[in-house]
Amino acid sequence: MALLIKENFHSVSHTIRSLLSKNNAIILSCIGTGVGFGLLRWYFSGAKCRCKRQLTGKTVIVTGSNRGIGRETARDFAKRGARVILAVRDITKGERAAEDIRQSTGNNNVIVRIVDLSSLESVRKFCRLILEKEERLDILVNNAGVRFCPHWTSQEGYELHFAVNHLGHFLLTNLLVNLMKKSAPSRIICVTCMAYEEGSINFDDLNSQRSYDPWTAYTQSKLANILFSQELSNRLAGSGVTVNSVHPGIVQSELGRYTGDNKPALWRRLLIKIVGFIIMKTPQQGAQTSIYCAVSDQLENVSGKYFSDCCIRDTSSVAKDKVTATQLWDVSCKRVNLHLPPT
């Protein structure tokens, strides 16, 4: 026995010694770096939705689901057996994503419906078709978004962040909410961003006509998402429809594609790429909190909350301002020409 241990010890120490020889030092440090990278990547990958719930017989809509976080959210719902409606603005990109999702999940009940959230007319047309064709709607994920685009305006002349991220989804959700009530219990998820904390709703200049700054416009629209989600949650209390908002994390995506105007130097871009690769979530990881809010059994009666990494988080004071939330609701109704029955 002792001999066996001794012999093994000998061979192990021999292996270590030969591994530490010059050539292998290089290999070893490579492996070390790899493991280090891996551990860091793992550390920043965020929480995973562990709920196994199936969605057979349920219908779900995800806006902006031809790529990024939206596509991975839709893919997960397809895996769970739902009828998945990809709400996208481009038919070719939409069909490509639908085919990809069908292939990877084996669920053929994945369809594309066209909606351009920067056109209220397009939103109304989309909703008319949904109400005409669908018998139920169990989950709606308001995920589409633009970030840091130039000072562009929507079809109706509204600043694009505010139009796409907020107004389009505001109208879309309100037009579909009766169908969701009929399908209750049902859930609405609004994808916002932690940066809402920096935002404020500038009622005097909602369209940024006096001055335009992409960061200000983006954070205003993301604050609008969270205020809308809470206000809607209050209005839907007792209806069996819950509304929650989500910060997906910092996720690799094409959201930043408008920032390419003044490109930094090559070494800086490379550094950003490497650091980004380490600390940013993949779209699949970024989708986890949206998925969690949509399927978790524990959240059956949870509404009006804000989540990140599959946990309820406290919101900063800007998001708790009920006066602003109601004012935003009223202004939004006017902007999208929506006449709701008095509550």
Ligand X SMILES: *[C@@H]1O[C@H](CO)[C@@H](O)[C@H](O)[C@H]1NC(C)=O
Ligand Y SMILES: NC(=O)c1ccc[n+]([C@@H]2O[C@H](COP(=O)([O-])OP(=O)(O)OC[C@H]3O[C@@H](n4cnc5c(N)ncnc54)[C@H](OP(=O)(O)O)[C@@H]3O)[C@@H](O)[C@H]2O)c1
Pick between residue 110 and residue 115 the one whose CB is nearest to ligand Y. Answer: 115
- Is 218 annotated as catalytic? yes
46 binds, among ligand X, ligand Y, none (CB under 5 to 8 A by kind): none
Residue 238 makes contact with ligand X by CB under 6 A: no
Select the residue interacting with ligand Y from 60, 144, 294, 325 (CB under 6 A): 144
301 binds, among ligand X, ligand Y, none (CB under 5 to 8 A by kind): ligand X
Q: How far is the CB of 36 from ligand Y (least distance, A)?
A: 24
Select the residue interacting with ligand Y from 61, 62, 68, 180 (CB under 6 A): 68
Q: Peptide bond before 185: cis, by omega within 30 degrees of 0?
A: yes
Select the residue interacting with ligand X from 90, 300, 337, 340 (CB under 6 A): 300
User: Which position's Cβ is nearest ligand Y?
Assistant: 68
Residues 240-269 that bind ligand X (CB under 6 A): none
| Interface positions with ligand X (CB under 6 A) | 298, 300-301
Q: Which residues are catalytic?
A: 218
| Interface positions with ligand Y (CB under 6 A) | 64, 66-70, 88-90, 93, 115-118, 143-147, 164, 191, 193, 248, 250-251, 253-255
